[in-house]
Structure 1
Amino acid sequence: MSSTSLTARENCDTNDVNAVEFVKVAIVGAGASGLQCAHTLIRDFGFAPSDIVILEARERVGGRLYTTMETRRGLDGTSLHFAMDHGAAWVHGTGLDWEAPLSKEDRSFPMRNPMMALLEKATPSGESVYERHLNPIFLGNPWMRPQSIAHGANQIVLYVNGQELAKDSPLISLALKRHYALLDRVSDVGNTMFEQGEGMETTIQSVKETISKIQDEPNFRSELERLSEDDMEQVLALTPFYLHMIECWYGKETSDLQLCEFVDDKLNDDNADETYTAEGDFYGPHCTLKKGMSSILEPLLRDGVNKRIRLKEEVIKISNETNTVLLNTVLGTQIRANACVLTLPAGCLKETEGRYEFFEPAMSASKLEAISHMSMGSYKKVFLTFDRIFWPKEEAFLGMIRKSSFQTSDEPPGNCMLFDNLWARNDIPCIEAVLSGSAGSWAVGKNDEIIRDHVLSFMKDAMGIADEISSYCQDCQVTRWEEDPYSRGAYSSMSLGALNRHVEELRNPEWEGRLIFSGEATVTEFAGSVHAALFSGRNSAEKVNEYCTLVEAKLCCSQLDDAADKIGFLKPSKLNW
């Protein structure tokens, strides 16, 4: 368990369970957003820790940031220790150089990743943030920029139909060229629809539907005719892998990705990666953390925040009372607050629609519409430990493609699989398979053994291994955010038909400003990321401060009015006397 995890309700000063407690601010959820909100209220707006309570349903803090320290036997027999992130694991771009002397304006959003600000706070004076915390893996976004970031830096090995492709294989260049040409045509289709007044349709039409039409175009098919039959088969098998990488980035299939996501992204085959526009990430290296994502949480627990967290105290009802919000918890506690910040993931918000009177009264129609247009991406990590390393050790990604075959409902869908290969370089015989989108949905509810066997079978077919590699496998751990009742998915995304106004409505307060919505789903540009959760925590703290300031101003005016009334009553009496 991470060192930042809290384990007992005693971490929060509490009153009698049967009494109604009063605080200025009740925060539901001790994930990145909730902790950032509390931290900002105390550090930036002068709230006292005692003004705040954070109610967390789990027995730990962090939400979908969850780090455990693992021990594995290395190839030489020694015990090796490392951090394993079961949820979020990446700093998706450091932004500008955090160690350069920049103005306050340059350090602000969106130039810099807020995760870096927290890592800076967690770094002792005189030490480097990079050296203490960061493992730079890629120079940019490899999921969206495979040509320059993954292949250009020799950070990926590909296996197609049982064979390892040479890194300088012309088939890779052909597949990349076809991939970028495909995305360019997708963008053309979307831009044309906008020009013809059909912009709204780009939110309903999926990328997969668009691609299917493009692939049937004669000009697009003719490029393959000059290839031999074997080479054509390889290119046709490899090209979808780069779309699969995009699916891993978004956590959803192209059949669920809105066409509008790719509108205006005009690409050039020769410099598509160099002209890349950030898609929810920051410029700069994409890194993992040496001690895991718990390093992000540690600074947020300072200044008394950790003492205001109540673990294993699920909120079961939120009611709008006169000028306050009343929260009921599973322990029977009632808490009355001037303002409530709700950081429930989108998947849990959708579930509240079926829970009797979770909100009393119900949310506004516009809020319910916004929630209905949100969805949760499926992203399962299958962490495998072996007694040997039988794959390349240095490259960060392994891409595996197997031949198409008839698939039953008992088999995982798709012919592509991405593997994170971040441990073998340190002689730790571990690798992580990514099951996203429909493959992730397939794995929901299945036990670890079934998932493990299918991943191993996929590896065996794609790599062309004759041995039964299941005998090498010593351990398998599968993340289950989709099954987790307190997340119901890995990270948020917009359903087909969703508009930016739905995200904006999702973060709009209810109940005259007393009920404030926060979390990564409420940030349009960065939805689904840790930095989105941090931005939303700051934003919700600002809304809380504005609302509480207004409440105090009204109270002050009311007291002045009362005083004036009393003075007005006494003056005539004195004059008459």
Structure 2
Amino acid sequence: MTSTQWFGRGRSKQSSATNSKELRIRAYDIVVIGSGIAGLSAAKHLQKANSSYKILVLEARDRLGGRTYTLVDEDEQHHHRRENESMTANNTSTPSKSNSIYIDMGATWVHGGKQSGQPIAVLANAMGYKLMNDNTEDERLYDLDARKFISPQKMEQAQQSFEATLKKAKKHAKSVESRRKQDISIQQALESVNPVIVQDPLQQYLIRQWLEFDFGGTADTISGAHFDEDSEFHGADSIPSQGYKPIVERLANGLDIQLETQVSTIDYDTKGVRLFTNRGIYEAKRVVCTIPLGVLKSGAVSFKPSLSESKQRAIDRLGWGVVNKVALLFNRVFWPPKQSGFGVVSSETPFCQYILNKYPFTQVPMLEAYIVGKQAQRMADLSNEEVVDNIIHELSIMFGQTVEMLEDSLIQKIYIQRWEKEEFTRGAYSYATVGSKADDFEAFEYSQLKVLFFAGEHTSVDYRGTAHGAFLSGRRAARDILSTLEDKSRVPAFSSLVT
């Protein structure tokens, strides 16, 4: 069951999975579990390295992409309305260049540029696919209490102060770990070096933005000593012009992919792997498992024999965060049209942490609200109506519009993504929780008996929690499989996967 809901004030639509079962056993050289970026990367690398391999990708959902999930809005009535109503703040008509609206409910940004070797950027360049720099104008912060935007100077000062405090906090956490042989949370570390931080709404915003948004967890669960032991690619962030969908589809092109196939048991020995699913049994010489950490934590999939102690320890210790998104389509732009995004600050934790302005990238009056940390957890108990009401309330304060005006401006089409409700992810992405270490991510880099391999953002030491980390983990799994098969083929260059 998918948790992304088309919401039009009282209506929702959800997909349903098939119940058909086929009991015959099918044999393959390699089976990849999952058609997210990691699974597609692994399968495509292997296919390009040696086209003689019989490769199958199994996907539990009725769609490709995993947490790279692009919705396409092609509602004719909606487009007719867009063409006939004001599209900009100054009442001049600016129709979209496309008949479709692309809405990424999962991965949204490409972090880093092709010059630094960022793999998603390299793929997009090889495809001739446009990435739009997220630099229209710097983001602005809005203070809900003072009912005004915070000046860039004050914002810069706050960021510099927070960065200095964060460095001291990590040093303190490392010292505590060394002396007491135990980790503390980054929240505890921050309060230890700067007790008044809890009283500063702007500093609390930065905790949510720099830590809870980036890592997915709440600050009181994120490791103080190990939260940032990863890497990044240089270059500006960008947003794919039509979402991640074209990249996912190009990677999937030519692969044998079977949807709506749920794996319940992974049985393996030195001879190979047997997968038990709702569609029967599959056998393979090698298997790549890209099942998300949240599903591994749930125990929904069993391994026979049990996974190694290091992997099971990693599953238990690593954090699995929640970052939810709500996309709202309006019939007019009532916010600064060139501003890339808006942070929300308040003495009481605001419902929205960040609001991305999609208008500069799509010419569509659309805002995407991000809900993180404790508000993301709170969202699990709220109805669709309550979620939207919370967002509209904050937007009305920020942009000087009445709630009634904003509700009238809504094109009764709102998309709500609750990742913690997704049966096949159960959360957003992984992070180092209190008590975990980089070794826990690294544990997944090693196979089980050289027949069962792992990929996914949670298996990336350097690029955890990112789409490019997922892609690179798939490449690593493909390389390792080739070595166990004594195959002299090498994993191909990134660009060759889509050309």
In the superposition, the TM-score normalised over structure 2's length comes to 0.82
The counterpart of 2:470, out of the listed 523, 530, 533, is 533
Partner of 1:570: none
| CA-CA distance at 1:433 after TM superposition | 0.9
1:514 and 1:192 map into 2 onto residues whose CA distance is 41
Q: Deviations over 1:360-385 (max 9, x none)?
A: 22223332111111232111111112
2:350 and 2:192 map into 1 onto residues whose CA distance is 20
The counterpart of 1:338, out of the listed 264, 278, 285, is 285
| CA-CA distance at 1:523 after TM superposition | 0.5
1:394 correspondence with 2:347: no
Partner of 1:206: 185
Higher relative contact order (CA closer than 8 Å, sequence separation 6+): 2
1:313 correspondence with 2:264: no
Amino acid at match of 1:283: H
The counterpart of 1:380, out of the listed 310, 324, 329, is 324
Contact 2:321–2:427, Cα closer than 8 Å, also in 1: yes
| CA-CA distance at 1:289 after TM superposition | 0.6
2:431 and 2:170 map into 1 onto residues whose CA distance is 20
1:180 correspondence with 2:163: yes
Amino acid at match of 2:107: A
Partner of 1:505: 443
Q: Deviations over 1:508-543 (max 9, x none)?
A: 211x21111111110011101111111111111112
Contact 1:389–1:424, Cα closer than 8 Å, also in 2: no
Partner of 2:433: 495
Contact 1:402–1:415, Cα closer than 8 Å, also in 2: no
Distance change in 2, residues 1:163/1:470 (3 Å): same
| CA-CA distance at 1:192 after TM superposition | 4.3
Distance change in 2, residues 1:313/1:416 (3 Å): closer
| CA-CA distance at 1:252 after TM superposition | 2.0
The counterpart of 1:435, out of the listed 347, 371, 380, is 371
Partner of 2:201: 237
1:86 correspondence with 2:90: no
1:20 correspondence with 2:47: no
SS in 2 for 1:59: coil
Contact 1:163–1:463, Cα closer than 8 Å, also in 2: no
Partner of 2:52: 48
| CA-CA distance at 1:502 after TM superposition | 1.3
Partner of 1:69: 72
| CA-CA distance at 1:251 after TM superposition | 1.7
Contact 1:424–1:431, Cα closer than 8 Å, also in 2: no
Contact 2:103–2:327, Cα closer than 8 Å, also in 1: no
| CA-CA distance at 1:301 after TM superposition | 2.3
Contact 1:448–1:478, Cα closer than 8 Å, also in 2: yes
1:349 correspondence with 2:287: no
Partner of 2:497: none
Amino acid at match of 1:76: S
SS in 1 for 2:60: coil
Amino acid at match of 2:323: Y
1:422 correspondence with 2:350: no
Amino acid at match of 2:344: M
Amino acid at match of 2:420: E
| CA-CA distance at 1:415 after TM superposition | 6.8
Distance change in 2, residues 1:466/1:68 (3 Å): closer
2:337 and 2:44 map into 1 onto residues whose CA distance is 41
1:184 and 1:87 map into 2 onto residues whose CA distance is 30
Amino acid at match of 2:205: F
Unpaired segments ≥5 residues, structure 1: 1-6, 10-15, 97-110, 124-131, 140-152, 222-232, 265-278, 405-412, 551-577
1:362 correspondence with 2:324: no
1:518 correspondence with 2:455: yes
1:488 and 1:416 map into 2 onto residues whose CA distance is 21
Contact 1:29–1:57, Cα closer than 8 Å, also in 2: yes
| CA-CA distance at 1:157 after TM superposition | 4.5
1:20 and 1:431 map into 2 onto residues whose CA distance is 48
1:33 correspondence with 2:38: yes
| CA-CA distance at 1:441 after TM superposition | 1.4
Partner of 2:384: 448
SS in 1 for 2:225: helix
Tell me how large the CA RMSD over aligned residues is.
3.0
The counterpart of 1:254, out of the listed 210, 219, 232, is 219
The counterpart of 2:134, out of the listed 131, 134, 137, is 137
Partner of 2:273: 325
Contact 1:403–1:415, Cα closer than 8 Å, also in 2: no
The counterpart of 2:149, out of the listed 165, 169, 173, is 165
Distance change in 2, residues 1:403/1:415 (3 Å): farther
Q: Deviations over 1:303-341 (max 9, x none)?
A: x31xx111111112211256121111102x211111111
Contact 2:165–2:190, Cα closer than 8 Å, also in 1: yes
Distance change in 2, residues 1:532/1:68 (3 Å): same
1:380 and 1:427 map into 2 onto residues whose CA distance is 23
Distance change in 2, residues 1:415/1:434 (3 Å): closer
SS in 2 for 1:384: strand
Moved more, 516-525 or 70-79: 70-79
Q: Deviations over 1:367-408 (max 9, x none)?
A: 21111112321111111123433221111111222343xxxx
Amino acid at match of 1:53: L
Distance change in 2, residues 1:121/1:239 (3 Å): same
2:436 and 2:219 map into 1 onto residues whose CA distance is 15
1:262 and 1:212 map into 2 onto residues whose CA distance is 16
Q: Deviations over 1:127-154 (max 9, x none)?
A: xxxxx41110139xxxxxxxxxxxxx53
Distance change in 2, residues 1:381/1:285 (3 Å): same
| CA-CA distance at 1:467 after TM superposition | 4.9
Amino acid at match of 1:48: S
Partner of 1:59: 62
| CA-CA distance at 1:160 after TM superposition | 3.8
Amino acid at match of 1:249: D
1:459 correspondence with 2:395: yes
Contact 2:288–2:455, Cα closer than 8 Å, also in 1: yes
The counterpart of 1:544, out of the listed 473, 476, 481, is 481
Distance change in 2, residues 1:114/1:399 (3 Å): same
| CA-CA distance at 1:284 after TM superposition | 0.7
Contact 1:56–1:310, Cα closer than 8 Å, also in 2: yes
SS in 1 for 2:344: strand
SS in 2 for 1:48: coil
SS in 1 for 2:342: strand
Amino acid at match of 1:83: Y
Partner of 2:250: 299
Contact 1:57–1:315, Cα closer than 8 Å, also in 2: yes
| CA-CA distance at 1:446 after TM superposition | 3.1
Amino acid at match of 2:483: E
